[in-house]
C-alpha cells in the first residue's frame, strides 16, 4: 500500500488532502520571509491513535512530517518542506477535563487558546499565557513555541503553565511526561524539553495545564515620556521597587503616530516620545496602591503626563493602541517584525539602537514591546515593491538581531526560531550547546522525520552528513 492510501486508512479519506489547491493553504504560516516547500499531503487526524498511525506510515515511507496548529506562527516553523506530510491538529480540539479543585485542565493540541481561557473563567479560573493571536492560535502551537504574551512579566510563559504532556515519538510510540500534582521531580524534565521544541522532537497530542484563580479586573495607568531613555528609566524604577504589574507595554513615537492615524485618535505622541501602558490586576486597595506607586515612579522618571483609571472599559480602550500597533504599521507599508528580548535595563539601548539602524538603512524602524519582560518587537518598514528596499530591510532585520545579542539578549523572546533564524540560533548558543541540541535530536528522531530545517540543520556546516 502506498503512503497516501495508508494515511487514508489511518484517518479516513476526507481527512487527507492531496490536491495542490487544497494543500497550498497549509504550506506557510504568517511569516513571509521564511522558506516554504510544497507538501505531498495534508492530514487532519482526529485523535492520538490516528496521529500515531500517520507517524508510523510516514516513518516507514521515509517521508518528513511537519506538525501544524493554526499556522499563526511568525517564523515559518510550520512551513512545509518539499514532499512532506503536514499534520494538522485542528480537529483535535477538545478540552478533555477541567478539574477546578486541582486547578488544572487536560486538553487536546487543537484547542484554541481563547477557548480554554473562557472555559476556565466559567470556573473562576485563569489560563495566563495570552499571545496576541489567542483568538485563533492553538494550545499545541503555543506549547511547541513556548508562546508568551502581554501578561508574561507577572504570570510567566507557556512553559510555566504546563504540568505534563503526551507526545507521539518518531517511531509512533506514545510518551507521557510530567505529572498532575503541584510538586513532582521524578526523572529528567522531559516536559520542558518538548515545550519550545517547535515540532522537531515529537507531536504533542495532549497537555495537562495549570490554572490559577481568576485575577481582578485590571486598573490601568498610561505615562508619556519625551524620550525612550526616560521611559526605560521608568521601567527600571518599577522593577527595582519590586512592583509586578500584570502588564507593562512600551511604544515608541513612530508606533504611536501610526496608531493615532489608524485609530484617528490623539494619543499625545510628540517627537521622540514614548508611552508606557501598565496594568495592575491586584484588585481593591492593592491595585489602587500599585497604580499610585507606579504613578509616583513615572513622575520621578520625568513623565510628561500620566493618566490612571480603574474603569476596565477605559483601560481596554487605552490598551487598544498597543493591540492595533501591527495592523497600524502594516497600513503604512510592508513590515518585517522582530522578536528579540533584552535585559529590562537595556530596553532604552535597544530602542535607540533600532532608530540608528533604521536611519543608516534609510528606513523606519518602529518599536513596541513587552517592557515587563524585555521582549521587544522592532518592526522594519519598507516598500514591498522595491527589491533594493527589501534587501536593506533584511540587513536591518539582521542588524537588530546582532544588536540584541550584543546587549546580552536573545534572538527570540517568544516566537521561536522556526525556519527563519536558524543560523542565529547557532550564533546565540555556541558550538557546545548546538552539539547537545543535535545529540538530543539524533536520540529522539534519528531519521530526521520531524520538521526538518526548523531550529537548526542536523549537522554543523562542514559536518559529515547533510
The residues of the shown chain that bind ligand FAD, judged by CB under 6 A, are 29-30, 66-74, 77-78, 89, 109, 131-133, 137-138, 140-142, 144-145, 147-149, 198-199, 203-204, 326, 414-415, 451, 454
User: Are 394 and 32 spatial neighbours (Cβ–Cβ below 8 Å)?
Assistant: no
Q: How far is the CB of 354 from ligand FAD (least distance, A)?
A: 19
Q: How far is the CB of 1 from ligand FAD (least distance, A)?
A: 26
Q: How far is the CB of 105 from ligand FAD (least distance, A)?
A: 16
**Residue whose CB is less far from ligand FAD, 203 or 361:** 203
**Residue whose CB is less far from ligand FAD, 209 or 308:** 209
**Residue whose CB is less far from ligand FAD, 131 or 215:** 131
Question: Which grid cell sits at 251?
Answer: 511604544
User: Are 156 and 128 spatial neighbours (Cβ–Cβ below 8 Å)?
Assistant: yes
Q: How far is the CB of 373 from ligand FAD (least distance, A)?
A: 11
Q: What radius of gyration do the chain's Cα atoms show?
A: 23
User: Are 11 and 44 spatial neighbours (Cβ–Cβ below 8 Å)?
Assistant: yes
Q: What angle do CA 347, 349, 355 make, to 5 degrees?
A: 105
List of residues 6+ apart from 118 with CB closer than 8 A: none
**Residue whose CB is less far from ligand FAD, 23 or 273:** 23
Length of the chain: 466
Among the listed residues 160, 293, 154, the one whose alpha carbon sits nearest the alpha carbon of residue 223: 293
Paired with 369 in beta bridges are 250, 376
Q: How far is the CB of 140 from ligand FAD (least distance, A)?
A: 3
Backbone angles phi, psi at 344, to 5 degrees: -60, -25
Q: How far is the CB of 72 from ligand FAD (least distance, A)?
A: 3
Q: How far is the CB of 52 from ligand FAD (least distance, A)?
A: 13
**Residue whose CB is less far from ligand FAD, 7 or 303:** 7
**Residue whose CB is less far from ligand FAD, 146 or 426:** 146
Distance CA 32, CA 5 (A): 33
Among the listed residues 62, 68, 248, the one whose alpha carbon sits nearest the alpha carbon of residue 154: 248
Q: How far is the CB of 101 from ligand FAD (least distance, A)?
A: 28
Ranked by CB distance to ligand FAD, the top (closest) residue is: 141
Distance CA 411, CA 398 (A): 10
Q: How far is the CB of 152 from ligand FAD (least distance, A)?
A: 8
**Residue whose CB is less far from ligand FAD, 306 or 325:** 325
Integer angstrom CA distances of residue 58 from 21, 141, 214: 22, 21, 43
Paired with 107 in beta bridges are 95, 207
**Residue whose CB is less far from ligand FAD, 67 or 291:** 67
Distance CA 361, CA 337 (A): 16
The backbone region for 76, taken as left when phi is positive above 0, alpha when psi lies in -120 to 50, beta otherwise, is left
**Residue whose CB is less far from ligand FAD, 90 or 309:** 90
**Residue whose CB is less far from ligand FAD, 93 or 314:** 93
User: Are 74 and 54 spatial neighbours (Cβ–Cβ below 8 Å)?
Assistant: no
Question: Which grid cell sits at 336?
Answer: 518585517
Q: In this structure, what DSSP letter does residue 161 have? A: G
Amino acid at each position: 500500500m502506498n503512503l497516501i492510501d495508508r494515511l487514508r486508512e489511518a484517518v479516513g479519506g476526507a481527512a487527507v488532502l492531496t490536491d495542490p489547491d487544497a494543500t497550498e493553504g497549509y504550506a506557510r504560516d504568517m511569516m513571509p520571509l521564511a522558506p516554504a516547500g510544497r507538501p505531498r499531503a495534508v492530514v487532519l487526524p482526529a485523535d492520538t491513535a490516528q496521529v500515531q498511525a500517520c507517524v508510523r506510515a510516514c516513518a516507514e515511507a521515509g517521508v518528513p512530517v511537519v506538525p501544524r496548529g493554526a499556522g499563526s506562527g511568525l517564523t515559518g516553523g510550520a512551513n512545509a518542506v518539499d514532499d512532506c506530510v503536514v499534520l494538522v491538529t485542528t480537529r483535535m480540539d477538545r478540552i478533555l477535563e477541567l478539574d477546578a479543585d486541582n486547578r488544572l485542565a487536560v486538553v487536546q493540541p487543537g484547542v484554541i487558546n481563547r477557548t480554554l481561557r473562557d472555559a476556565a473563567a466559567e470556573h473562576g479560573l485563569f489560563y495566563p499565557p495570552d499571545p496576541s493571536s489567542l483568538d485563533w492560535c492553538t494550545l499545541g502551537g503555543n506549547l511547541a513555541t513556548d508562546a508568551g504574551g502581554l501578561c508574561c512579566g507577572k504570570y510567566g510563559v507557556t512553559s510555566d503553565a504546563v504540568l505534563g504532556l503526551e507526545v507521539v515519538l518518531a517511531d509512533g510510540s506514545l510518551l507521557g511526561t510530567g505529572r498532575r500534582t503541584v510538586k513532582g521531580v521524578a526523572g529528567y524534565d522531559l516536559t520542558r524539553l518538548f515545550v519550545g521544541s517547535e515540532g522537531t522532537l515529537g507531536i504533542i497530542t495532549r497537555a495537562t495545564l495549570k490554572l490559577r484563580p481568576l485575577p481582578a479586573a485590571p486598573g490601568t495607568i498610561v505615562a508619556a515620556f519625551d524620550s525612550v531613555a526616560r521611559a526605560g528609566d521608568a521601567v527600571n524604577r518599577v522593577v527595582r521597587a519590586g512592583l509586578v504589574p500584570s502588564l507593562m507595554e512600551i511604544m515608541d513615537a513612530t508606533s504611536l503616530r501610526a496608531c493615532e492615524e489608524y485609530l484617528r485618535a490623539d494619543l499625545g505622541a510628540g517627537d521622540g516620545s514614548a508611552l508606557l501602558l501598565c496594568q495592575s490586576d491586584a484588585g481593591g486597595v492593592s491595585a489602587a496602591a500599585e497604580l499610585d506607586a507606579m504613578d509616583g515612579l513615572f513622575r520621578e522618571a520625568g513623565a510628561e503626563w500620566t493618566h490612571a483609571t480603574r474603569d476596565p472599559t477605559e483601560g481596554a480602550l487605552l490598551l487598544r493602541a498597543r493591540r492595533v500597533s501591527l495592523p497600524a504599521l502594516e497600513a503604512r507599508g510592508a513590515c518585517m517584525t522582530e522578536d528579540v528580548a533584552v535585559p529590562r535595563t537595556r530596553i532604552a539601548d535597544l530602542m535607540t539602537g533600532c532608530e540608528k539602524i533604521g536611519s543608516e538603512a534609510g528606513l523606519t524602524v518602529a518599536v513596541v514591546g513587552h517592557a515587563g519582560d524585555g521582549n521587544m518587537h522592532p518592526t522594519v518598514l519598507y516598500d514591498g515593491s522595491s527589491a533594493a528596499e527589501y534587501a536593506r530591510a533584511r540587513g536591518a532585520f539582521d542588524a537588530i538581531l546582532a544588536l540584541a545579542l550584543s546587549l546580552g539578549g536573545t534572538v527570540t523572546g517568544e516566537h521561536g526560531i522556526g525556519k527563519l533564524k536558524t543560523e542565529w540560533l547557532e550564533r546565540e548558543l555556541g558550538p557546545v550547546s548546538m552539539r547537545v541540541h543535535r545529540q538530543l535530536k539524533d536520540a529522539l528522531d534519528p531519521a530526521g522525520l520531524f520538521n526538518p530545517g526548523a531550529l537548526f540543520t542536523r549537522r554543523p556546516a562542514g559536518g559529515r552528513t547533510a
